[in-house]
Amino acid sequence: MENKHYNMFEIFRGFIAIAIAIFVAFILILICADDPGKALECLLIKPIISNGALNTKSIFTILARMTPIIFTGLAVCVMFSANQFNLGGEGAVMLGGFVAALLGIYIPMASGVHILVAVLAGTIMGGLIMIIPAVIKVKLKASEMVCSLMMNYVIMYIILHFLNNVFADRSKGATQTYPFLNTAIIPKIIPTSELSWGFAIAILATVIVAYFMYRTRWGYSIRMIGINESFSKYSGMKVGSIIVLSQVIGGMLSGMGGAIEILGRENAFKWLDLPGYGWTGITVAILAKNNPIMIPFAALFISYLNRGCELMSIYAGVPAEMIDIIQAVIFLFFAAEHFLSGTRQKIVVKDAKEELHKKELATSGEGGNA
């Protein structure tokens, strides 16, 4: 089966890309770490095993950090599937987090309901804001990419304005809001760790998005539009509406990610800059090849590396920002269609030849019945 050949080949390619990235990391570590052996240990092993035992605390941290990037990864996955290069995830995350935070601080509600309402509000705001680039794209054919990029900054500055001038808790040294009401804080799965039930919601969201993309007419339309917009239009799909829908869903997922991150990991709104999860979400989606089910695995990988880089910076003096270099390298190779394409062409030619051969056998066998 030729499909099997391709799939195996794709997996092989992915591994090579990751291997190259890790190799680059090794070289960088060799150059700048005082004790490269220790640095490598921090990067690869320490995130899960320290002093010969499972490092549960660190493992929970890794899982906790997966949460927001699963959401943004899913968001990118939906938008990129529709071929919409909306890069507004950053802004939507921050906005979702901010709105959820305000509700968590100022509107007392029953426990249980409070979290639900706050997260939903963040989700909805994230979705609403994405209507702007989406509608501009559909109605005016202006680039959703440029528009969403600009929007990130507008959102950030508006939030900073409100944070500094309206909602700031002046009793604190750093700029932040008043603390969330207890009813609004998402409980931890493991009490002493960073890991909240938000993680479970992220996994649930993954399943829902996977179902949405592959088992519903809307997800189907999104994918078809992404593959071939003209075809979708000709087939009778409402292309404009679906394009808007894909970006709104992307915004909702990002907004939800922001809300859950804020209420699950922090006790007050403290973001003074775009949080970066939107960009990481793109890396995650690329690693997952836009397949929702693969998003948590990709997020785990990035989160693990992230933790490793952090430990490396604490114990081996290698700046944690190395993660960005590793990410960039993986990203570039993973998305490179012609990376190792010579090998792929050989597979194609071989398959085509086999097929021709089979066909010839078949026709000669039929004795010209056709």
Partner 1 sequence: MSDNNLVVQMKGIAKVYPNGVAANQGVDFNVMRGEIHALMGENGAGKSTLMKMLFGLEQPTEGEIIINGEKVSLSSPTVAISKGIGMVHQHFMLVPSLTVAENMVLGMEPKQGNKLFINYKKAVEITEEYSKKYNLFVDPHAKVRDIPVGMKQKVEILKALVRGAKILILDEPTAVLTTQETEELFKELIHLKEQGYTLIFISHKLNEIKQITDRLTIMRGGKSMGVHETANISKEEISRLMVGRDVVLTVEKEKAEPTDVVLSVRNLEYTNEWNKKMLDKMSFDVRKGEILGIAGVEGNGQRELVEMLFNLNVPDNGLAKVNGKNILGRPQREIRDMGVSLIPEDRMTFGIAGAGTIEENLMSDRASEKKYNNGLLFNLKAMHEDSDELIKDYKVLCKSRRQPVGMLSGGNIQKVVVAREFSSEPVLIIADQPTRGIDVGATEFIRKKLVELSREGAAVLLVSADLNEVMELSDSLIIMYNGKIAAYFEDTSVLNDTIMGEYMLGLKQQDAEEIRGVLHGE
Partner 2 sequence: MFHQLVDMVFSASFGYSIIRITSPILFAALAAVVAEKGGVVNIGLEGIMMISALFGVLFSYWTNSWLIGVVGAVVIGVLVAMIMAVFALKLKTDIILAGIAINLLGGGGTVFLLYLFTGLKGNTASLTTPNMLTPKVNIPLLKDIPVIGQIFSGHSVLTYVAFLLVILVWVLLYKTAMGLRIRAVGENPNAADSVGVSVLKTQYIALAISGALAGLGGAYMSMYYSQSWNIGIVAGRGFIALAAQAMGQGEPVGAMLSSLLFGFASALGNKMEGMQGFSSYLVASIPYAVTIIGLVIYAMSTIKKVKRFKDSDK
Neighbour tally for 30: CB within 10 Å: 11
Q: Is residue 336 at the binding interface for partner 1, with CB under 8 A as the rule?
A: no
Q: Which residue has the tokens 């071929």?
A: 83
Which of partner 2, partner 1, none does 232 bind, CB closer than 5 to 8 A by kind? partner 1
6: alpha, beta or left? (left if phi > 0; alpha if psi -120 to 50): alpha
Residue 57 buriedness (CB in 10 A; 0-12 / 13-18 / 19+): middle
Q: Is residue 53 at the binding interface for partner 1, with CB under 8 A as the rule?
A: no
Which of partner 1, partner 2, none does 136 bind, CB closer than 5 to 8 A by kind? partner 2
Rounded to whole angstroms, the Cα distance separating 232 from 83 reads: 13
Q: Is residue 236 at the binding interface for partner 1, with CB under 8 A as the rule?
A: yes
Q: In whole angstroms, how close is the CB of 146 to partner 2 at the nearest point?
A: 5
Q: Is residue 142 at the binding interface for partner 2, with CB under 8 A as the rule?
A: yes
Rounded to whole angstroms, the Cα distance separating 293 from 283 reads: 15
Q: Is residue 111 at the binding interface for partner 1, with CB under 8 A as the rule?
A: no
Of 18, 60, 26, 31, the closest CA to residue 43 belongs to 26
Whole-angstrom distance between the N-terminal and C-terminal Cα of the chain? 26
Of 135, 102, 136, the closest CA to residue 119 belongs to 102
Q: Please pick, from the candidates 220, 297, 315, 339, the single residue that binds partner 1 as defined by CB under 8 A.
A: 220
Q: Is residue 6 at the binding interface for partner 2, with CB under 8 A as the rule?
A: no
Rounded to whole angstroms, the Cα distance separating 116 from 100 reads: 10
Rounded to whole angstroms, the Cα distance separating 207 from 230 reads: 30
Site for partner 1 in 177-216 (CB under 8 A): 211, 215-216
Question: For residue 192, what are its two tokens?
Answer: 């002493």
Q: Please pick, from the candidates 20, 22, 49, 149, the single residue that binds partner 2 as defined by CB under 8 A.
A: 149
Q: Is residue 27 at the binding interface for partner 2, with CB under 8 A as the rule?
A: no
Query: Which one of the spans 39-47, 109-117, 118-126, 221-229 is the region binding partner 1 (CB under 8 A)?
Result: 221-229
Q: In whole angstroms, how close is the CB of 212 to partner 1 at the nearest point?
A: 9
Q: In whole angstroms, how close is the CB of 210 to partner 1 at the nearest point?
A: 12
Which of partner 2, partner 1, none does 216 bind, CB closer than 5 to 8 A by kind? partner 1
Return the number of the residue (321 or 366) whose C-beta is nearest partner 2. Answer: 321
Name residue 105's amino acid: I
Return the number of the residue (33 or 224) whose C-beta is nearest partner 1. Answer: 224
Taking the CA atoms of 7, 8, 14 and 17 in sequence, report the sign of the dihedral they define. Answer: negative
Q: Please pick, from the candidates 164, 228, 343, 345, the single residue that binds partner 2 as defined by CB under 8 A.
A: 164
Backbone phi, then psi, for 311, in 5-degree steps? -60, -40
Which of partner 2, partner 1, none does 174 bind, CB closer than 5 to 8 A by kind? none
Of 93, 33, 135, the closest CA to residue 273 belongs to 93
Q: Is residue 252 at the binding interface for partner 1, with CB under 8 A as the rule?
A: no
Q: Is residue 87 at the binding interface for partner 2, with CB under 8 A as the rule?
A: yes
Q: Is residue 235 at the binding interface for partner 1, with CB under 8 A as the rule?
A: yes
Residue 133 buriedness (CB in 10 A; 0-12 / 13-18 / 19+): buried
Q: In whole angstroms, how close is the CB of 265 to partner 1 at the nearest point?
A: 32
Judged by CB under 8 A, the number of residues near partner 1 is: 33
Question: For residue 116, what are its two tokens?
Answer: 């639900």
Which of partner 1, partner 2, none does 211 bind, CB closer than 5 to 8 A by kind? partner 1
Rounded to whole angstroms, the Cα distance separating 191 from 206 reads: 24
Q: Please pick, from the candidates 51, 165, 230, 364, the single residue that binds partner 1 as defined by CB under 8 A.
A: 230
**Binding-site ranges for partner 2 (CB under 8 A):** 28, 31-32, 85, 87, 132, 136, 140-143, 145-147, 149-154, 156-158, 160-161, 164-165, 273, 276, 279, 282-283, 286, 319, 321-325, 327-329, 331-333, 335-339, 341
